Amino acid sequence: MKNFNKIYQFDYNGFFSMIEKMGDDLNTPSLRFLKGRAIEIGLCQATDFRLIHIDTTGCDLQDSKTKEDFESKSQKYCLYTRTGKLKRKTSTIKLTNTLQKGQNKSLKCSSDWLIITDTGSELSYSMAIISYKEVVDNYSKEVNDGFTCQIPMDKLTFLVKPEEIELFEIPDAASAKKEIDEALKRLTAAFFNRGE
């Protein structure tokens, strides 16, 4: 999708400034799934909600106008090394987890596009896109608990590279973990503060 940036007017500076602020806040095993969710919602925010969050199996986002589906995968240093050098191919990316056993596991083409986001550091912050069908047909690999992929860099369309991003800070932005803890305290308090 070579015209992604024209269509979506993506705010990469805001998106990667959000990634920078989150840092390792949500990297504990109990919170890691929330980091993925925050990134998906950040993708929607960065397109002014032209992309909407739908979160079905194998599909995270949908174009609110064309109904094209997008799967989002994010990982530290999956496109660039820690020193900012472009890799020859992506790191191994987990496409699916499955409980299927034996030799009859199957990977379906559940989206139109795969968005890959490198969340490592300002030396690697970047995003690329590729047809999900191309990934399924040419780069997917079956493993014990699902399917993975590794994609040659020359098969990806880069949407933004590290040198194109200008990070900024929002001084009073709260930590993601603190915000989640506060939200959970409010949610659970209703069950314990009944005025008895």
Residue 193: predicted pLDDT: 67
Residue 187 vs residue 117, higher pLDDT: 117
Residue 138: predicted pLDDT: 97
Residue with tokens 């990134």: 39
Tell me: the pLDDT tens digits for 4-32? 999 999 999 999 999 999 888 888 888 88
pTM of the model: 0.89
Please list, in sequence order, all residues whose beta carbon lies within 8 angstroms of the beta carbon of residue 107, skipping any fewer than 6 positions away. Answer: 95, 96, 136, 140, 142, 147
Task: Map out the domains of the chain as residue ranges.
Answer: 4-187
102: left (phi over 0), alpha (psi -120 to 50) or beta: left
Architecture of domain 4-187: 3-Layer(aba) Sandwich (3.40)
| Inter-residue contact 42 to 52 (CB < 8 Å) | no
